[in-house]
């Protein structure tokens, strides 16, 4: 419940770090704990409940947001629920799907916050302020839209591959209800992700804001993340092989 306020009040680089690093470290710690402890029905049901609660909360709460960073905060909550689906399975396939989800989420979030950081330099806080982005900086608007489409799980972007592997692992272990909730919340999430794209490309801006151009480092970072987002699902072999070896090594 405190995450949206922290995301909004913190500097954008700190917000980006808080959105990525704790999830990776906590997931790694929970993974080691669940492997070396008694992973029974009680622990699996706990992961099951937390995953469903996070997906529902993130999807429903994000629909009412008017600020960009608060929207990303609730989106982060929802994606934690998707990633936790791998824990709920308790299988090697679930662990691999969890690792794939972490890699894709981290790269997508870095790309999203690179654009947000550039926009915040122009004092952009509200979703309604993005209306001038496609008119004044179409390249940034296009990359931001691709990032949002990946969050929504629209094929053939990386976000679709992440959710595909996670839900497939849930179906493989018999968690049909969990996979159903994940699919439904993904459909709900498409509403506010596509709303950002609609605002940038089709709505008339309420105020015309001249966006400052990105520096070289942000542009290079955005190019790398966009390339990964657009190529990881059509060519999944490198990521799939790496996560498969990591999942196997975690059991050794």
126 or 17: which leads in pLDDT: 17
Rounded Cα–Cα distance for residues 239 and 137 (Å): 32
- pLDDT at 120 (0 to 100): 63
210 or 42: which leads in pLDDT: 42
Instruction: Please tell me the number of Cα atoms within 13 Å of 241 on its side-chain side.
Output: 3
- pLDDT at 86 (0 to 100): 83
63 or 90: which leads in pLDDT: 63
* pLDDT tops 60 at residue 133: yes
Per-chain mean pLDDT for the chain: 83
Containing structural domain, residue 92: 3-249
Rounded Cα–Cα distance for residues 135 and 141 (Å): 9
**Across residues 6-21, what is the average pLDDT?**
84
- pLDDT at 33 (0 to 100): 72
Percent of the chain residues topping a pLDDT of 70: 90
Q: Are the C-beta atoms of residues 57 and 78 closer than 8 Å to each other? A: yes
Tens digit of pLDDT for each residue in 60-89? Answer: 888 888 888 888 888 889 999 898 888 888
Kindly report which listed range (111-120, 154-163, 164-173, 199-208) carries the lowest average pLDDT score: 199-208
Percent of the chain residues topping a pLDDT of 90: 14
Tens digit of pLDDT for each residue in 18-49? Answer: 888 888 888 888 777 766 555 667 777 888 89
Pick the closest to residue 250 from 28, 82, 81, 26 (CA basis): 28
- Note the helical H segments in the chain: 3-9, 12-36, 41-62, 68-89, 92-120, 133-136, 138-152, 158-172, 176-201, 216-231, 237-249
Who's near 93: CB < 8 A, 6+ residues apart? Answer: 168, 169, 172, 173
- pLDDT at 213 (0 to 100): 65
- pLDDT at 184 (0 to 100): 93
What's this model's pTM, rounded to 2 decimal places? 0.88
How many domains does the chain fold into?
A: 1
217 or 109: which leads in pLDDT: 109
pLDDT confidence band for 1 (50 / 70 / 90): confident
Token pair 């669940």: residue: 34
- pLDDT at 210 (0 to 100): 59
217 or 212: which leads in pLDDT: 217
* pLDDT tops 80 at residue 115: yes
- pLDDT at 216 (0 to 100): 76
First to last CA, the chain: 37
């Amino acid at each position: 419940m405190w995450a949206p306020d922290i995301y909004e009040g913190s500097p954008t680089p700190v917000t980006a770090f808080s959105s990525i690093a704790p999830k990776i470290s906590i997931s790694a710690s929970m993974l080691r704990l669940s492997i070396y402890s008694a992973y029974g029905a009680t622990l699996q049901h706990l992961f099951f409940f937390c995953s469903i609660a996070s997906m529902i909360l993130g999807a429903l709460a994000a629909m009412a947001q008017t600020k960009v960073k608060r929207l990303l905060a609730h989106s982060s909550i929802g994606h934690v629920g998707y990633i936790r689906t791998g824990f709920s399975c308790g299988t090697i396939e679930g662990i691999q799907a969890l690792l794939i989800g972490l890699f894709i989420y981290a790269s997508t979030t870095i790309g999203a916050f690179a654009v947000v950081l550039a926009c915040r330099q122009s004092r952009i806080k509200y979703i309604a302020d993005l209306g001038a982005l496609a008119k004044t900086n179409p390249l940034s608007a296009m990359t931001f839209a691709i990032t949002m489409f990946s969050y929504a799980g629209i094929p053939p972007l990386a976000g679709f591959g992440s959710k595909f592997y996670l839900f497939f692992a849930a179906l493989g272990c018999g968690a049909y209800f969990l996979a159903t909730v994940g699919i439904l919340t993904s459909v709900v999430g498409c509403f506010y992700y596509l709303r950002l794209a609609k605002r940038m490309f089709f709505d008339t801006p309420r105020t015309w804001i001249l966006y400052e151009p990105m520096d070289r480092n942000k542009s290079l970072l955005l190019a790398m993340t966009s390339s990964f987002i657009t190529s990881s699902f059509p060519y999944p072999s490198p990521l799939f092989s790496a996560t498969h070896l990591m999942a196997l090594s975690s059991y050794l």
